[in-house]
A and B are shown apart, each in its own frame.
Chain A
Amino acid sequence: ILNVEQSPQSLHVQEGDSTNFTCSFPSSNFYALHWYRWETAKSPEALFVMTLNGDEKKKGRISATLNTKEGYSYLYIKGSQPEDSATYLCAQIGSYIPTFGRGTSLIVHP
């Protein structure tokens, strides 16, 4: 069982603020790192799939980086909007099985 940690557990920001979260994971037996966005009463949906050390992915105002050697990934949101409010999950893929962190709950206040 992989130990995937996310921080902070929750975050409150004002509309327009930029923010970032951290996902840390064991650097051994690394296969891939996924980020998911999970809105209340919905299912998690993938944001990014990252496999290579140094990977940087971007989708609109959201971006992510990956460091497999030291075992961490950052998710950045630029200019947060109320619709960005959600739980953001990361999952490390080892031997094909996703192991999820506990998530970071983001609330963006208008």
Chain B
Amino acid sequence: DAGITQSPRHKVTETGTPVTLRCHQTENHRYMYWYRQDPGHGLRLIHYSYGVKDTDKGEVSDGYSVSRSKTEDFLLTLESATSSQTSVYFCAISEPRGNTEAFFGQGTRLTVV
């Protein structure tokens, strides 16, 4: 299995509080992604990183920020959590070549109450 771990695995938080999810890889892959999974929507890209301190927005980036200060860690922050951000969040990693697959973390289930 690819060395990619997400923490925490589960979190319940209150509306308006900040939340940070962590993705850690040991594969030295250049690209890292944060997706959210919601019923009927599959996986939607929130943000991605193509190198240390190099990040860009995905299709559902509003309300989220990211940081990547070193190759192995990619942090996703909800500055002020809302109920619409209740979801399962997946981190993924890949090399910048389309002929290799992406590898996924185990997912983080976030509930905003």
Interface residues of A (CB under 8 A from B): 1, 6, 31-32, 34, 36, 42-46, 49, 51, 89, 91, 93, 96-103
Measured CA separation A85–B44 after assembly (Å)? 22
Which residues, 77 to 111 on B, are CB-close (under 8 Å) to A?
A: 90, 92, 94, 96-107
User: Is B50 on the interface with A (CB-CB < 8 A)?
Assistant: yes
Q: Which of A31, A99, A101 lies at the interface centre, i.e. has the most chain B CB atoms within 10 A of its CB?
A: A99
Interface residues of B (CB under 8 A from A): 31, 33, 35, 40-45, 48, 50, 58-59, 90, 92, 94, 96-107
B47 to chain A, nearest CB (A): 11
Measured CA separation A91–B104 after assembly (Å)? 14
Measured CA separation A49–B104 after assembly (Å)? 15
B residues in contact with A51, CB < 8 Å: 98-99
A43 and B94 contact, CB distance less than 8 A: no
User: At the interface, is chain A mostly helix, strand, loop or mixed?
Assistant: strand
A49 and B105 contact, CB distance less than 8 A: no
A residues in contact with B101, CB < 8 Å: 34, 36, 46, 49
